[in-house]
Amino acid sequence: MTETIAETQTETVPKGRYSGKVDIGLKTPKYLVELAQVSKHFGSNHVLKGVSLRVKPGEVCSIIGPSGAGKSTLLRCINLLETPDSGNMVVAGQYVDLGKPQDRRALLSLRRNVGMVFQSFNLFPHLTVMDNIALPQRRVLKRTEAEAKEHGMELLERVGLADKADSYPAKISGGQQQRVAIARALALEPKAMLFDEPTSALDPELAQEVLTVMKEVASSGMTMLVVTHEMNFARNVGDHLVVMEDGAIIEEGDPEQIMSDPAQERTRQFLAAVINH
Amino acid sequence: MNTFEFWGDNFPQMLAGMGVSLQLTLGALVMGIPLGLLLALGVSSKLRLLRWVCLALVEVGRGAPALVVLYVVYYGLPVLKLSPEAMTCAYIGLTYTTCAYTSEYIRGGLKSVSPGSIEAAHALAMPGLDVLRFIIIPQGLRVAIPSLMGFAIQIFQATSLTYSITVREVTAVSYSVASQTFRALEIFTLAGIMYAIITIPASWLTNKVEQRLTLRH
């Protein structure tokens, strides 16, 4: 089964596609996130069919594709919120053999390097905005309360929400909650950020304020993997575009190039559907 | 001596009895709720043996009437060559009943915590114990507060059962007054009023708290 997939994949892979071997010998890795042959089943459903992907430091990689393509699952495998069945990866210099059960310390150190922003924001509802940002810093980075709050305030200013520090999440808008969630993830000074459809639960207007913050984060040099339906973001902010369908990458490369002249018919159909909706 | 004079004469000892009832309630809650939390975590544990032991403790504690639990403690401990005072037995029995019941309320609260916030905590590299301590338990307990307050009222009423193991709480005081004066109706009416003076405002408070907690989220 795996062999067949590997074969078909090499055949259909466009030129220059990554073959799927993690390079662990390099002292200064060329890639900040490197996935090789990541495979995942949910029951009998093969959701990731040996996906390989490389993201350079500072790169913004957008992942698009129809729902059920495995985009979110792929993202969630990178910080091991999902446990893949097989494959391996290097994330911020840390090698992970995905076929094995993960050691607790390795898991925490991996997650420390990778921030994540969720579609449904997932703020801690019982804590104020400031405490949402301060608590992980105190517990994970062992910062003092004062340090955590000072740093938290800087980040809230950065996302334009300094005046909401003492509000509870339920009292602020979805767009504001998502900006807090971004600040909370940034507070741990991650090497890469994963965005799982960060604007899908928001009205266009609120989505825009989140996209503005994401753009600012991208321009600060953060390595970002963004699962999104925002084609403008993918095109204008993204450096690399990945198109997924049915648990595999069907096409990847320069966003401008793919959007104006996709190599795959399926990509063309998908783009036509999302752009004209 | 009319009823009010009769009540007035006996009020000091009734009040002392009520003090004992409140003391027992407080003790049962202060010891029982933390134990209830531990049982709730135990019942949710992945370790099968721990889960079964905790589940058995909870089910027996909820299944057996509080009075039976009190008798088992009161007549059981001497068999083990221990001779605790009646008050100690009352604390033990009521605490056990409290922890068995509250563990279920707390477990319900813990289960209601949104998986999203738990997942976010994991994604933020918070260790499992931290996730439990800072994310799951505070949110879960908050949800459980109204039912815990409701239970506190029930266990306060249940302290009257300790009369049967010779604790001098307000029901026991009423009983001895009744047997000396043969004015049972009047003295038990006073006892009822005294219980109600505490339970009725406590129920209001429970409703208020419930409303406030729903508003907040």
Greatest Cα pair distance in chain B: 73
Whether pLDDT at A9 is above 80: no
B15-31: pLDDT as tens digits: 999 999 999 999 999 99
A11-70: pLDDT as tens digits: 333 444 555 666 555 455 689 999 999 999 999 999 999 999 999 999 999 999 998 899
For A187, the closest chain B residue by CA position comes to B124
Written as six digits, the tokens of B57 are 């403790």
Average pLDDT, chain A: 89
A169-214: pLDDT as tens digits: 999 999 999 999 999 999 999 999 999 999 999 999 999 999 999 9
Predicted pLDDT at B84? 85
**pLDDT band, very low/low/confident/very high, at A6 (cuts 50, 70, 90):** very low
For B143, the closest chain A residue by CA position comes to A126
**Gyration radius of chain B over CA positions:** 21
Contact residues, chain B, for A112 at CB < 8 Å: 125
Q: What is the CATH number of the domain that holds B151?
A: 1.10.3720.10
Please enumerate in sequence order all residues whose Cβ is within 8 A of that of B117, keeping only pairs 6 or more positions apart, or say none: A122, A123, A124, A125, B135, B139
3-class secondary-structure state, position A117: strand
Predicted pLDDT at A16? 44
Predicted pLDDT at A117? 98
Q: Cα A196 to the chain's mean position, in Å?
A: 6
**B139 lies in which domain range?**
3-216
* Domains of chain A, first to last: 2-275 (3.40.50.300)
Predicted pLDDT at A13? 38
Question: Above pLDDT 90, what percent of chain A?
Answer: 83
Enumerate the β-bridge partners of residue A88: A36, A97
Question: Residues in chain B with pLDDT < 50?
Answer: none
**ipTM for the predicted complex:** 0.87
Average pLDDT over every residue of A227-247: 94
Predicted pLDDT at A20? 60
A81 and B CB contact within 8 Å: yes
Contact residues, chain A, for B132 at CB < 8 Å: none
A79 CA: distance to closest CA in chain B (Å): 7
Written as six digits, the tokens of A246 are 């049915």
Whether pLDDT at A276 is above 70: no
Question: What is the count of structural domains for chain B?
Answer: 1
Q: Do A124 and B135 touch (CB under 8 A)?
A: yes
Closest CA to B164 of B82, B75, B78, B97: B75
User: Which letter does DSSP use for residue A240 in this model?
Assistant: E
A181 and B CB contact within 8 Å: yes
Predicted pLDDT at B214? 75
